[in-house]
Chains A and B, each alone.
Chain A
């Protein structure tokens, strides 16, 4: 399953950041576990969105969607924007064209928000599972790690004050003594409460994008 995030690197060479974001979003949506956060991609997309919002009245989005490679830099955008500004001062900007750009921008913003949202929701769901594994923690962005930490603390506080503090002496303790959600050891955070984990051992439908050749499946 871990191959979700690093699949078809070869195909990514010729796509735009928006396409890459769409792929990351789709993978995140389909995968049961949280995938590696693509900070560079998110940063690039945000930079581009900001530039677009700032200069919204000039339609450059179209140009960078259609004519740019995956590694678009800010300077590219600025240069292109100057070109298009000139183009459009001659012709006058069509309202319809502007609204098409706006729509494209809206869609990209949605993708970005939904991507970040999906990740937060997975973190909420598997807080304890993630906090037990350094590998999973490393997949989160800095802000997400912070969020995961506070999610854990909040849940811990809630369970302590609603249940554990009311149990007889000694029975509410395990949680207190063995807690420390931030520690990396596999200590039993919730003794007698299984930690919810994503279901990874399951069947999925696959479609091959290119010839894979003979492929050895387990016990087949």
Chain B
């Protein structure tokens, strides 16, 4: 049946959990694209046939006309499904920028179409340029702050750092009790993590 494969893609989006991304289904995606080309070939040949019979393609309503119309509409339907598939995936991908950060882990990268990788990169750049224009970092402070001080563990040797009125030696695996705003920059660089007992 025409349009069935394309609807599988849409169903895949529908059945996946919100915010989760399945691997890009390039197998079915390519099949649908091929189906589109097939529809188009059929459509063209029916039109050609009508032209060869010297029929007016604008007004003639014979079986070839309706055949062509079905191919045309099936193609449009496939197109809509493909667009919906891509669009909905792109929405999930853009949410990763807020949830995960500017660099996606390998296992997510593997699920993406090459154009989706590019999309993520461009979209992150758009957010970045907004942030630098506004001069306020929106990627920190994702949850309301509870305490101005937090306990952190240093993941890599940072060395002597002066924080406010005193200096701290941040050596690997040491624990510190720092102002959250001071620690945040190191945490976002991956040099520290919050230490939760």
User: What is the interface of chain A mostly: helix, strand, loop, or mixed?
Assistant: helix
Known: A112-B136, A146-B130, A157-B122. A162 touches B113 (CB 8 A): yes
Instruction: Output the least CB separation between A150 and chain B (Å).
Output: 4
User: What is the interface of chain B mostly: helix, strand, loop, or mixed?
Assistant: helix
Q: Give the contacting residue for A168; candidates B75, B94, B180; CB below 8 A.
A: B75
Indicate if the CB atoms of B180 and A106 lie closer than 8 Å. yes
Does B80 belong to the interface (CB within 8 Å)?
yes
> In the complex, A159→B116 CA distance in Å?
9
Indicate if the CB atoms of B98 and A117 lie closer than 8 Å. yes
Does B83 belong to the interface (CB within 8 Å)?
yes
Binds A, one of B51-59, B143-151, B168-176: B143-151
Q: Which residues of B contact A163 (CB under 8 A)?
A: 79, 82-83, 86
Which of the four size classes fits the interface of chain A? 35 or more
> In the complex, A147→B131 CA distance in Å?
10
Indicate if the CB atoms of A143 and B130 lie closer than 8 Å. yes
Indicate if the CB atoms of B83 and A193 lie closer than 8 Å. yes
Q: Which residues of A contact B82 (CB under 8 A)?
A: 163
Q: Which residues of A contact B79 (CB under 8 A)?
A: 163, 167, 171, 192
Q: Give the contacting residue for A158; candidates B75, B90, B148; CB below 8 A.
A: B90
Instruction: Give chain A interface residues in 108-132, CB to chain B under 8 Å.
Output: 109-110, 112-114, 116-117, 120-121, 124-125
Binds A, one of B11-19, B33-41, B100-108: B33-41
Indicate if the CB atoms of B145 and A171 lie closer than 8 Å. no
> In the complex, A117→B94 CA distance in Å?
13
Q: Which residues of A contact B145 (CB under 8 A)?
A: 103, 106-107, 110
Indicate if the CB atoms of B141 and A161 lie closer than 8 Å. no
Instruction: Give chain B interface residues in 59-87, CB to chain A under 8 Å.
Output: 75-76, 79-80, 82-84, 86-87
Does B1 belong to the interface (CB within 8 Å)?
no
Indicate if the CB atoms of B76 and A171 lie closer than 8 Å. yes
How many B residues have CB within 8 A of the partner chain? 45
> In the complex, A116→B139 CA distance in Å?
11
Q: Give the contacting residue for A171; candidates B36, B119, B127, B180; CB below 8 A.
A: B36
Indicate if the CB atoms of A110 and B75 lie closer than 8 Å. no
> In the complex, A117→B136 CA distance in Å?
11
B111-122, CB under 8 A of A: which get 1 and which 0? 001011011001
Indicate if the CB atoms of A146 and B119 lie closer than 8 Å. no
Q: Which residues of A contact B76 (CB under 8 A)?
A: 171, 192
Known: A106-B181, A147-B130. A113 touches B33 (CB 8 A): no
> In the complex, A113→B192 CA distance in Å?
22
Q: Give the contacting residue for B149; candidates A99, A109, A154; CB below 8 A.
A: A99
Instruction: Output the least CB separation between A127 and chain B (Å).
Output: 10
Does A74 belong to the interface (CB within 8 Å)?
no
Q: Give the contacting residue for B87; candidates A46, A99, A151, A159; CB below 8 A.
A: A159
Q: Which residues of A contact B140 (CB under 8 A)?
A: 113
Indicate if the CB atoms of B86 and A113 lie closer than 8 Å. no
> In the complex, A155→B76 CA distance in Å?
20
Q: Which residues of A contact B196 (CB under 8 A)?
A: none
Q: What are the nearest 7 A-B pairs in CB distance?
A: A168-B40, A162-B115, A158-B119, A102-B148, A150-B126, A106-B145, A154-B122
Q: Can you report 23 residue pairs joining A to B where beta carbons are below 8 Å apart?
A: A103-B147, A109-B141, A113-B141, A114-B144, A116-B136, A117-B98, A120-B130, A121-B98, A124-B91, A143-B130, A147-B126, A150-B126, A154-B122, A154-B123, A159-B87, A161-B115, A162-B113, A162-B116, A163-B82, A166-B33, A166-B36, A168-B40, A168-B75
